[in-house]
Amino acid sequence: MRSAAARQRLLVPVFFLLLGSFPPAAQADAIQFRMITKVGLGQRPKLEITALQELQRVEVMLNRDDGKNVGQNLGAMGVGETREVLLDGKPGKHHYSGRVTCVVDGEPQDSQVYFDTLVGGEFTVIVDKTKVDLVAGRMPIQVSSPDGKVELRILGASGGDPLLEHEQEFADHDPAIPLFVTWKPLAKGTEVGRVDLKVTDASGAFKSFALFPWSVYIPHEEVNFATDSASIDRAEVPKLQASLGKIGDALAKHKDLGPIKLYIAGHTDTVGAAAYNLNLSRRRAQSIAGWFRKNGLRIPIAYEGYGEFALLVATPDNTDEPRNRRVDYILSVEDPTLKATDFQAAWKLIK
């Protein structure tokens, strides 16, 4: 029967794969195996052999599933000495089987081994922000590694301790399909400010992401512009001053969230040509953004026009609808996406 020490030597860490059969106790006590079989791009799987007795000779003969043979004479080994047999580092999965022969006191002893290797490609993680459901506690991500761990931390919009911290391990994952990170849903009405995500593969390589789902629409009284004009009339300035105060209050409340920007989005009704309305809404948004900059707002300010492509009230063409003539003031860390349109905004910063 093997001693406790001998049995302990045959244990391997969780991130090693060791499959095979071993000879009787005397032979197993002659050598110790460690097989590192799952590695990243640029690395090579390997078989490590450590001598537990004086060995006159050690030979390794392996057959791979594609017909390739691996043979290596490691020569004599002293007690405690370790030798490596490096395997093919080409990306992909392979099955190896064979034997390790060691000569002890002139007697050859065979150990049968068999195992699979997996060499991954470049470690990549893709997060589609549009598919993250914070309310339901569900985030699909594309991960190129078959084994690893996901660490998730969700922070509130007003700072303080994390709302949630979550770890999730994965193994034998198919990189061709999404990996779903799931957690206990947050309480209804919870205002999430930031989501920190770290994905680590079995080799220790990792990718980190920070998502900022938080945004605030600043309620305000609309500035009235003259027909075909983007100039701000003096009588409209008090409206902008009131809005500037509300923006300051919101920034003070969320100062620990990150690098917040103010986004100014201009809109029109459907009267007139769509191309003309797009340009007019952009000029009006730029005018308001410029006023905020000149009057002391120091955070980054971006503007864009949506014209008639994000109507608040759906109307036929050439319809005079005052509610569609508006400008949105949005505080956000990341470029906001207006749900009412597929229009691709090209935000421009005011200097």
Task: Please state at what angle helix 274-294 crosses helix 237-253, rounded to 10 degrees.
Answer: 70
Neighbours of 92 (CB within 10 A): 11
Distances 223 to 128, 142, 215, 216, 300 between C-alpha atoms, Å: 36, 45, 22, 19, 21
Burial 298-329 (b: 16+ CB within 10 A, else e): eeebbbbbbbbbbbeeebeeeeebeebbbbbb
Rounded-to-integer distance, Cα 317 and Cα 331, Å: 31
CATH 2.60.40.10 fits 125-211, yes or no: yes
C-alpha closest to that of 304 among 260, 263, 259, 262: 263
Q: What is the pTM of this model?
A: 0.60
Residue 110's contacts (CB-CB under 8 Å, 6 or more residues apart) are 23, 27, 99, 100, 101
How open is the CA angle 50-52-53, to the nearest 5 degrees? Answer: 125
330 within 8 A of 281, measured Cβ to Cβ: no
Per-residue pLDDT of the chain (351 residues; tens, 9 = 90+): 334 333 333 333 223 333 343 333 334 478 998 888 887 767 899 999 999 999 999 999 999 988 899 999 999 999 999 999 999 887 777 899 999 999 999 999 998 998 988 876 678 899 988 889 988 999 999 998 888 999 999 998 877 889 999 999 998 888 888 999 999 998 888 889 899 999 998 778 899 999 998 899 999 999 999 989 999 999 999 999 999 999 999 999 888 787 899 999 999 999 999 999 999 999 999 999 999 999 999 999 999 999 999 999 999 999 999 999 999 999 999 998 887 788 889 999 998
Query: Which residue intervals of the chain bear CATH 2.60.40.10?
Result: 125-211
The fold of the 215-349 domain, in CATH, is 60s Ribosomal Protein L30; Chain: A; (3.30.1330)
* Share of the chain residues as helix, strand and coil, in percent rounded to the nearest 5: 15, 40, 45
Residues of the chain with CATH 2.60.40.1940: 4-119
Considering the chain, tell me which residue range(s) the CATH 3.30.1330.60 domain(s) occupy: 215-349
Distance CA 114, CA 20 (A): 5
pLDDT recorded at residue 11: 30
- Give the architecture-level CATH label for domain 4-119: Sandwich (2.60)
Q: State the CB neighbour count (10 A cutoff) for residue 177.
A: 10
